[in-house]
């Protein structure tokens, strides 16, 4: 069973995924990095040159490749992966989806540091908030929600995952 990490941009999906990968001794895949490898360009370039629709198509193809791997992996999803096609339902069927939750106020404080994100560069804060609000119902479909606030400790999530995965 794969463990998929989801949530809005900037909540720490990749950081948490790498930490869990090391601790649980499971291979790690960052879906955005896998997409860039497949597309042979950055996600920002892909958005600029081919648009979001092409990006989402490549994202879905890459996601299917990852899901098809027999060996269990920790997978950091892109912020919008759960919201397109039937990805949310498929991810829930194929593994354990963990939602790293942060309030909009917490995300807003960190979002100014995310200069390399296409959505940050092309949207105002109010538009980003609207995207967050549109995506959150998809994130909430996850089997496990972990608040990423000042009291969050990765050990809490790790202990839960150890119990769920017998590791």
pLDDT at 122: 87
Residue 61 has a CB neighbour count (10 Å cut-off) of 12
Alpha carbons 165 and 150: distance in angstroms, whole number: 26
Structural domain contains residue 70:
yes
By C-alpha distance, which of 143, 134, 93, 115 is closest to 8? 134
* Domains in the chain, number: 1
Contact 75, 24 (CB under 8 A): no
By C-alpha distance, which of 93, 103, 102, 89 is closest to 138? 89
Structural domain contains residue 91:
yes
**Distance in angstroms between the alpha carbons of the first and the last residue of the chain:** 12
Structural domain contains residue 159:
no
- CATH classification of the domain holding 22: 3.40.50.300
By C-alpha distance, which of 75, 23, 78, 84 is closest to 53? 84
Q: Which helix (H) or strand (E) holds 60?
A: helix 43-67
In the numeric block, the tokens 């959505």 are attached to 119
- Residue 150 tokens, joined: 């000042």
Structural domain contains residue 28:
yes
Structural domain contains residue 165:
no
Tell me the pLDDT tens digit for each residue of 66-111. 999 999 999 999 999 999 999 999 999 999 999 999 999 999 988 8
- pLDDT surpasses 60 at 150: no
pLDDT at 153: 63
Alpha carbons 16 and 137: distance in angstroms, whole number: 21
Structural domain contains residue 47:
yes
* Whole-number average pLDDT of the chain: 90
Structural domain contains residue 14:
yes
The residue segments making up the domain with residue 16 are 2-153
pLDDT at 158: 73
User: For 116, which DSSP code?
Assistant: T
Structural domain contains residue 68:
yes
Contact 10, 114 (CB under 8 A): yes
């Amino acid at each position: 069973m794969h463990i998929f990490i989801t949530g809005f941009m900037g909540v720490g999906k990749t950081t948490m995924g790498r930490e869990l990968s090391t601790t649980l001794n499971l291979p790690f895949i960052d879906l955005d990095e896998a997409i860039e490898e497949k597309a042979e360009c950055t996600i920002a370039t892909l958005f600029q040159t081919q648009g979001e629709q092409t990006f989402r198509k490549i994202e879905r193809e890459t996601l299917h490749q990852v899901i098809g791997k027999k060996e269990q992996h920790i997978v950091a999803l892109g912020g919008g992966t759960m919201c397109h096609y039937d990805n949310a339902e498929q991810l829930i069927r194929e593994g354990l989806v963990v939602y790293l939750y942060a309030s909009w106020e917490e995300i807003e404080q960190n979002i100014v540091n995310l200069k390399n994100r296409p959505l940050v560069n092309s949207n105002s804060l109010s538009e980003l908030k609207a995207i967050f609000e549109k995506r959150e119902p998809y994130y909430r479909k996850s089997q496990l929600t972990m608040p990423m606030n000042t009291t969050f400790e990765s050990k809490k999530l790790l202990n839960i995952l150890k119990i769920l995965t017998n590791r």
